[in-house]
Each structure stands twice: as structure tokens, then as C-alpha cells.
A and B are shown apart, each in its own frame.
Chain A
Amino acid sequence: MRALLQPHRIVLILIAVGLVFACVTQMRWEWLANPKYQTLLVEGVWRSIWLTAVTMCIGMVLAVPIGLAQAVGPWYLAIPARVFCTVIRGTPLLMQIWVLYYGLGSLFPAIPGIRDSVFWPLLRQAWPYAVVALSLSVAGYEGEVMRGAFKSVPHGQLESAKSMGMSRFTILRRIWLPQAVQRVLPTIGGETVLQLKSTPLVSTITIMETYAVAGRIRQDTFIIYEPLLVLALIYMAITGVIVLAFRWFEMRLPSRTA
């Protein structure tokens, strides 16, 4: 609290309050009271959070074998994993999303019999493509992170586990994976924020998440700046929640500092 009460900070806070006041009184906010836009916004925010959470989980599950293959795998597993990570990290996510949606999506209808299959209702919608593209992106970036994490676990830990007679899978489950994940937890927190910040890209394939909702409101009402400011505020709020959640999570994990 004392840090905030220095003279220059008080002036800065007053300026900020003045700016907010000017925004509230001078700009047009009547659209926020419209229940139609309220429901749209809530749904959009929910979709953004849902996409971030689901794709982070799927991506991390994929990243563990990719990281493992790169760290200790034989060459016929290590090289494909390497290539996958390089391609994902070397090309823009927007392009990956478009390849899957416009490219693969245009290929499916040509397969005979697919329109009658159970998969068709799924393939016809946009969100499966978004989930796949975003998950693969996480897998590519985190696969590289996990490679470093697996390699950074002290060798003595694995050797002593082996000398206890643990099987290779038990070593991975009980010793290797937990220690690797613990090491990269701060990194994963940062990557989750990055993932949240890449979800607006799926609005380009017709998914109505927060960014697309703001675009829709701007089109309907001809208001340029206000929805964008709300949009920025929403993302900042979600980012804050993610950062706090990971900080809390890290504190709960037992760690011994030498």
C-alpha cells in the first residue's frame, strides 16, 4: 500500500482515474445495456476460456510423448517429433488454422459415404478444426519445452529409481514426469497466457468467441472503439486470473530450495 502512496504514483493514479472517467462519460456505452449483446459477450468469453483450457490439456497430453521422443527416443521417433515441432513453431498459427479449416475441410466432402457417417455433423462445424489446430500448436511448442524438462531431471533420480527395481513405466509415472512438470510449471503458466492470446485467431473461421462478438457488435452499432476497449479489458482480466491461478498452484507444490 505504501508503494502506491508516493507522490508521483498518486498523480499517475489521478490521471488514470480521469481517463477512465472521461471514457465512461464521453464515449458511447448504451450497447452494453442491450441484453442481446450481453448474452453474446458472456457466451464469447465462455468460448474463449473453454478453448484455452481444452486445447492446453490436449496439447500437454500430446507434448509429453513428443518431448520424451526428442529427449531419449530412438531416431525413428526423435526425427519425426523434431520435424513436427519445427514446422509448428516455424509457421504462423493463422496459416495452420486455415490449412485445417479450408484445406482439410474442403477435402472431406469429396470422400464418398462421409456425409452419411456419424462424423459428418462434427466435420461440418468449425470448432473441431479450431480445437485440433490450437491443440497441435500447443503440442509443438510444449513438446520442445518438455524435451528440455525431461533432460533437466538429475540422472541420479532415474538411476536410483532403476536400482529400486521400478519398471520403466513406473519410473516415468512416479519420478521422471512429476519432476519434469514441476520444473516447467512457470513456463506452462506463461504459455497458457500465450494460448489465450491466440484464441482470437479462430474468429477467422467463423467461431463466435470474444473477439468475434466484439466485431459483430461493432458491425451492428457502427461504434468503433468502445467494443475494442471492452475486449482488451476482458483479455487482461482473464490473463490476470490465469497468472494468479498458476502462482497459487506453484505455491502448493512442495519444493525444496537448496
Chain B
Amino acid sequence: MACPPASQLSSFELLGFGECGWGDTLLLGLGNSIMIALGAYALGFVIGVFGAFGKLYGGPVTRDLAAIYTTLVRAVPELVLILILYYAVPGALNEVLLAMGQERIILPQFITGVAVLAFVQGAYQTEVLRGSILAVPQGQIEAARAMGMPTTLIARRIIFPLMTANAVPGLGNLWLNATKDTALLAVIGFSELTKATFQASATTKAFFTFYPAAMGLYLLVSLTSIYAFGRIEKWARKGQRDVRG
């Protein structure tokens, strides 16, 4: 079946599924966006945990390196960082592979995108987690040390449970940033939601069908996340006294 020209289709038909609709393209883009955001956020969290502990409890060299990392990443626009890393990461990897006598490889765009965004997220998460560790009452850590707990046990039993409540609001904001930062990958040609919207509207000229629809999808993700993080914070603050008294 041949599709009629896009100008003859209604918004519902354009957003629908099947041959003439772009609904599946948009939803695929949304799926890509969420996958990248999840991957980058999880990887960024790992970097953040190591960065925060390194900054607080590491040796002098670790501290300085972590400080350089967070300062540099937060001072340069994400778009510039993404572009630098997008070329540098596969380049460096191939240099290493060639030096080891292996073949060149082409990294899938998805993995590069996740790695690049995780590198950026890691710097911000380091700062959020560092702040929330600092907000853990010092006496709790000292008491654990006095009980003879080793450092990893203190981290697992005392610091992690107590810092969670402080970290959740900041981490929630960073998750929202991660979902929105995936749009930047549109600039390097990755087909996530923003790019899919751009393609759909450029082809059909139905700008005011696709952009509001895509914005609605982003808003849906944001609002669900805000609600979810609110619930998580409530759970994490279980047993804490309400400040309002």
C-alpha cells in the first residue's frame, strides 16, 4: 500500500503505527534514549562511588586526580566533551589494539554513547555522593571504627545506608539530566528520540505534530522519574525524624 502525501494525513495517522505512521520510529527512539540514559547513569554511579570515596579517603595523588577530573568535566560543555570523547575513545582503543598486534575494531555507536555520557555523569555523581557522605554524622563513623570494623564494612553497613537519604534528591536531578543529555547524541547522529523526531518532522513537514508528541514523551519520563525518586526518598528517610517537627 502506498502512503498518501504526508500533508493529507491527520496527526493521529502520522503518529500511528504501520506503514504511514511514525509512531514506531518515535517509540524506538524513546527506547534508545532510555537505554542509553540507564546505561550511562549506572556506569556513572560506579564512577561516582569510586570518585567520592577516592576524594574523601584516598591518598593525596588519588584526591588530586579526582579533583582534576570533576573540575575539568564540569567546566567544559557536555557537547564538546561528547565530541572529544567520541573521537578519542575509539581512537585510543584502536591504538592500544594495534600496539598489541590485534585488528582494528569499530565500536558500536551505542556503547560509545553510553561510555561518553557515563564519563560526564560520573563527575557530577562524584560531587553529589561526596556531599552526601560528608553529611553522615562523624560520630557514626568514629563509633564504627571504635568497634573495630574494617573500612569496607564501615562503608557497607554505616556510610551507605546513612548517605542514601541525603544522596537521593541530587541523584534524582542527575537522572533527569541523564535522560535529557541523551538528546545531545542527536548531534553526532545517534537515532534517539530527538533525532527521530527531527527526521520524522523534516520528512513530513508536520512539525507541530511530532515535536509536541516527543516533548510529551520526555515529560512523561521526567514526571514518572520525579514521582519514583520521591517514593525512594520517602523510603530512604524511613525512621528519620521530620525536620518540620
Contact = CB atoms under 8 A, between A and B. Distances in A.
Contacts of B223: 86, 90
B180 to A, nearest CB: 4
Given A224-B87, A228-B83, A95 B77 contact: no
A197 interface: yes
Nearest to A231: B80
Nearest to B215: A91
A124 B77 CA distance: 28
A236 interface: yes
A237 B182 CA distance: 26
Given A103-B211, A200-B77, A86 B186 contact: no
B80 A228 contact: yes
B75 interface: yes
Interface in A211-258: 211, 224-225, 228-229, 231-232, 235-236, 239-240
A232 B87 contact: no
Interface in A12-40: 12
Contacts of B187: 94, 204
Contacts, number: 105
Contact of A91 (B205, B208, B218): B218
A198 interface: yes
Given A12-B64, A92-B218, A200 B80 contact: yes
Secondary structure dominating the interface of A: helix
A229 B60 CA distance: 27
Chain B interface, >50% SS class: helix
A84 interface: no
A211 B219 contact: no
A198 B77 CA distance: 7
A93 interface: yes
Given A87-B219, A94-B183, A198-B77, A99 B211 contact: yes
Given A93-B180, A95-B197, A99-B215, A106 B207 contact: yes
Contacts of A106: 205, 207
Interface string B118-154: 0000000000000000000000000000000000000
B214 A95 contact: yes
A239 B64 contact: no
A91 B64 CA distance: 35
A12 B80 contact: no
B202 A232 contact: no
A201 interface: yes
A112 to B, nearest CB: 19
Contacts of A98: 194, 197-198, 211
Contacts of A117: none
A231 B64 CA distance: 24
Nearest to B211: A99
A95 B80 contact: no
Contacts of B184: 92, 94, 201
Contacts of B79: 200-201, 211
